[in-house]
Homo-oligomer: A and B are copies of this chain.
Amino acid sequence: MSYNLLKGKKGIIFGALDNKSIAWKIAERAHEEGASFTLTNTPTSIRFGTISELAEKTNSIVIPADATNQKDLTELIEKSMDHLGGKVDFILHSIGMSLNVRKKRIYSDLDYNFLQKTLDISAVSFHKVLQTAFKLDAINDWGSVVALSYIAAQRTLFGYNDMADAKALLESIARSFGYIYGREKKIRINTISQSPTPTTAGSGIRDLEGLMDFTERMSPLGNATALECADYCVTLFSDLTRKVTMQNLFNDGGFSNMGMSMRAMHQYEKGFNCNDC
C-alpha cells in the first residue's frame, strides 16, 4: 500500500534499533510513501541492532550520532543535507532510555546521575536536535517533526519510573519549540502518544505483558501496533496536516479516554471468584 504521501520528501529518522522498533516501521512506511532519509542511532545501538539491514531495504545511509552531543548532531544534520541534496522535510525522534529502570532503582530511590541521563537522553536530546536544526536552518518551510511519547506523561503507571517524567519533559519541549518553529519557520512539532508496544527498548518496563493485556482490553480498538503508529506518523509528515502543531496525539485505540471497559472489568473481576489464586 502506498499513496505517495511523502513523495520527494527528505528526512532524518532517529532511533531504529531492530525490526521491532517503531522507528523501523516508520522508516519502512516513509520509504514506501516516497520519502528519502538518513537513519541515525548511537554507535552502541548500531552495533547491538540491525539498522544496516533497514538502510539497505530503504535505500538510505546510517550516520552514527549521540543525540545528546551537539557536535554529533551538527555533523549528522550537515551530512544528511549533503546526502539528501538539501534541507529536510521531516524528523522523527524515537529515543528513550533510563538507567534507573535498567538498574532497577525504584522511583523512591533514584540515582540522580541516572535521572539526569534519563532526562538528557529521552527529552533534552529532542531540544538539542531541534536547536541544532534551527541554527543550521535545516528544515524546509512547512516541514514536520514528530517525537514518540507515552501516556505516562499524563498518568502514573507503576514501574514506568523516571521515564514518565522524561516523557512529560519531552512533550513540553515539543510545545515550547513548536511555538518558535511555527512562528519563525512554519514548521510543526508534535508528539505521538503510542500504545505500549513490545519493542526491544521497552522490554525493561516492569510487567509490560500484564499492562499490555490491560490496555488491549481497555481500548475499544485494542492497542495500536508499531505499524499503525508508522501509518499515523506518515500522515503527520505529509502535507495534509499543516496546521496541526504543539499537540500530543494519542494513537492508542482509545485507551486515553477510557475510564473502564466491559472487557477489562470482566477480566478484573475474574480473580474475585477464584479461591485458589
Residues of A at the B interface (CB closer than 8 Å) are 1, 3-5, 70, 107-110, 112, 115-116, 119-120, 124, 127-128, 130-131, 134-135, 151-162, 164-165, 167-169, 171-173, 175-184, 186, 188, 195, 207, 210-211, 213-214, 219-225, 228, 231-232, 234-235, 238-247, 249-254, 256-265, 267-274, 276-277
Q: Roughly how many angstroms separate A134 CA and B107 CA in the complex, as a whole number?
A: 11
Q: Roughly how many angstroms separate A214 CA and B186 CA in the complex, as a whole number?
A: 18
Given known pairs A259-B151, A268-B271, the reply for A168 and B172 (CB within 8 Å) is: yes
Q: Roughly how many angstroms separate A183 CA and B108 CA in the complex, as a whole number?
A: 12
Which residue of B4, B160, B169, B242 is within 8 Å of A165 (Cβ)?
B169
Residues of B within 8 A of A173 (CB): 165
Which residue of B176, B181, B239, B271 is within 8 Å of A271 (Cβ)?
B271
Residues of B within 8 A of A186 (CB): 221
A223–chain B nearest beta-carbon distance, Å? 8
* Protomer copies: 4
* Pairs A–B under 8 Å by Cβ, sample size 28: A3-B4, A108-B177, A108-B180, A110-B127, A115-B124, A154-B259, A155-B259, A156-B178, A156-B257, A156-B258, A161-B176, A165-B176, A168-B171, A181-B220, A182-B219, A182-B221, A183-B263, A188-B254, A210-B269, A214-B260, A214-B268, A228-B243, A232-B241, A234-B240, A235-B238, A244-B249, A268-B271, A274-B274
- Contact between chains at A172 and B153 (CB < 8 Å): yes
Which residue of B165, B221, B253 is within 8 Å of A172 (Cβ)?
B165
Residues of B within 8 A of A247 (CB): 249-250, 256-257
- Contact between chains at B265 and A211 (CB < 8 Å): yes
Given known pairs A244-B250, A249-B247, the reply for A156 and B175 (CB within 8 Å) is: yes
Q: Report the 9 A-B pairs with minimum CB-CB distance, sorted nearest first.
A: A182-B220, A270-B271, A168-B172, A224-B243, A155-B259, A274-B274, A157-B259, A3-B3, A235-B235
Q: Roughly how many angstroms separate A238 CA and B234 CA in the complex, as a whole number?
A: 12
- Contact between chains at B254 and A245 (CB < 8 Å): yes
- Contact between chains at A241 and B252 (CB < 8 Å): no
A119–chain B nearest beta-carbon distance, Å? 6
